[in-house]
Amino acid sequence: MQITAKQIAEILNGSISGNPDAIITGPSKIEDGKPGTITFLANPKYKDYIYTTEASVVLVNKDFEPESAIQPTLIKVDNVYASLAILMENFNSGISIPSGVASTAIIDSTARLGDHAHIDDHVIIKPYVTIGHNARIYGQVFIGDRVQIGNDVTIYPGVKIYHNCVIGDRVIIHANSVIGSDGFGFAKTEDGQYKKIPQTGNVVIENDVEIGSNTVIDRASIGSTTIGQGAKLDNLIQIAHNVQIGHGAAIAAQSGIAGSSTVGRDCIIGGQVGVVGHIQIADGVMIQAQSGVASSVKEVGSKLYGYPAINYQSYLKSYAYFRKLPDMASQLRYLESRVQQLENGKKD
């Protein structure tokens, strides 16, 4: 793909400072910029690279003013990250997929495909599945009985969707994720064995959700495990049975939400966070990476950190004291020795 700086500026509704005819063939990082590429400057800590990068064009915020001469053409926009997202769509060609249904796909006669659905090689679609218009189902995907899939859905290679699950419109599910596997439900019998509790529910993924690779969402024991509209789940996440994830929530990699817990709307959960079962997290809560949430969070918009998680600012203050514990222990031993000396002096 080749595009000029002027054409990019028109796409992004930006202004140009420099050569509008600079030819761009792809993106690059600002520290590794090469001629013919476009890069961006959004984080101030990378500011120095704009004076040394060899990239032909740099995307910057409209209030950026260089402190000395620079070589690249600048495209000034209102919001670099938002503009970058738009721009990357133009450079992202994606994985190729055949038009229509591949000859190696196995599709039950009762399944229904919408207009312009693309079904890749070795896809298996079981009885009474419905798939909406403009779906893109990549190779080796398994779709179980009675699954419902909406319009404009993209399902990448190796995804497994168990029976009765519901996938909304414009959902993206990345490679090797599993939707609707059994929840972790067992009852211990008198003889010490574990008896499996049937998991009779399903998973409902609402519109505009994106799910990363190797994420697992368990079906409900009764009812539905639900991922709310617009939620974004990273790679390697475990969502247990009957969990409810609110609209617009974002969860980073390696986090786990235990059974029957509720995560509110617009919550942000960092990587490797653990949430115990049967609790509720209020709307807009932010949880720092590697935290453990052991009880319900009722305050809307609160910020948590630590294990068990507490108020973010309280944790930082506590940690500041924690780092000083060796020095404080030394001071305490010194004071104890001085007190002992004073007491010994009184006895004499």
What are 64-87's pLDDT values in tens digits? 999 999 999 999 999 999 998 888
Q: Flag whether pLDDT at 348 surpasses 60.
A: no
Q: Annotated catalytic, 241? A: yes
**pLDDT given for residue 321 in this prediction:** 79
- Rounded to whole angstroms, how far apart are CA atoms 273 and 306? 10
- Rounded to whole angstroms, how far apart are CA atoms 54 and 38? 10
Report the chain's terminal Cα–Cα distance, integer Å.
92
**pLDDT given for residue 328 in this prediction:** 87
pLDDT band at 329 (very low <50, low <70, confident <90, very high): confident
Beta-carbon contacts of 11 under 8 Å, excluding residues fewer than 6 positions away, are 86, 87, 90
Residue with tokens 């992202």: 92
Provide the 3-class DSSP secondary structure of residue 29. Answer: coil
**pLDDT given for residue 344 in this prediction:** 83
- Rounded to whole angstroms, how far apart are CA atoms 57 and 171? 33
For residues 159-186, average pLDDT: 97
**pLDDT given for residue 317 in this prediction:** 85
Q: Please answer whether residues 281 and 296 qualify as being in contact, where contact means their C-beta atoms are separated by less than 8 angstroms.
A: yes
Phi, psi of 53 (to 5 degrees): -60, 145
Q: Which helix (H) or strand (E) holds 242?
A: none
Least confident interval from 7-21, 126-140, 311-325: 311-325
**pLDDT given for residue 93 in this prediction:** 65
- Rounded to whole angstroms, how far apart are CA atoms 121 and 130? 18
Please state the domain extents for the chain.
3-91, 159-308, 318-347
- Rounded to whole angstroms, how far apart are CA atoms 328 and 325? 5
The residue annotated as part of the active site, out of 174, 241, 247, 278, is: 241
For residues 174-191, average pLDDT: 95
- H helices, E strands: number in the chain: 4, 39
**pLDDT given for residue 224 in this prediction:** 98
For residues 74-103, average pLDDT: 87
Residue 12's Cβ-side half-sphere holds a number of Cα atoms within 13 Å equal to: 31
Least confident interval from 55-59, 86-90, 206-210, 306-310: 86-90
Q: Flag whether pLDDT at 241 surpasses 60.
A: yes
For residues 120-128, average pLDDT: 98
Q: Which helix (H) or strand (E) holds 179?
A: strand 178-181
The domain over range 3-91 is classified in CATH as 3.40.1390.10: yes
Quote the percentage of the chain above a pLDDT of 90: 80
Q: Please answer whether residues 291 and 311 qualify as being in contact, where contact means their C-beta atoms are separated by less than 8 angstroms.
A: no
Instruction: Name which residue leads in pLDDT, 298 or 1.
Output: 298
- Rounded to whole angstroms, how far apart are CA atoms 231 and 177? 16
Write down the mean pLDDT value for the chain: 94
- Rounded to whole angstroms, how far apart are CA atoms 199 and 128? 20
Is residue 192 left, alpha or beta, with left meaning phi > 0 and alpha meaning psi from -120 to 50?
left
Least confident interval from 12-16, 25-29, 297-301: 25-29
Q: For residue 69, give the amino acid letter.
A: A
Q: Does the model's pTM come out above 0.85?
A: no
Q: Topology of 159-308 in CATH?
A: UDP N-Acetylglucosamine Acyltransferase; domain 1 (2.160.10)
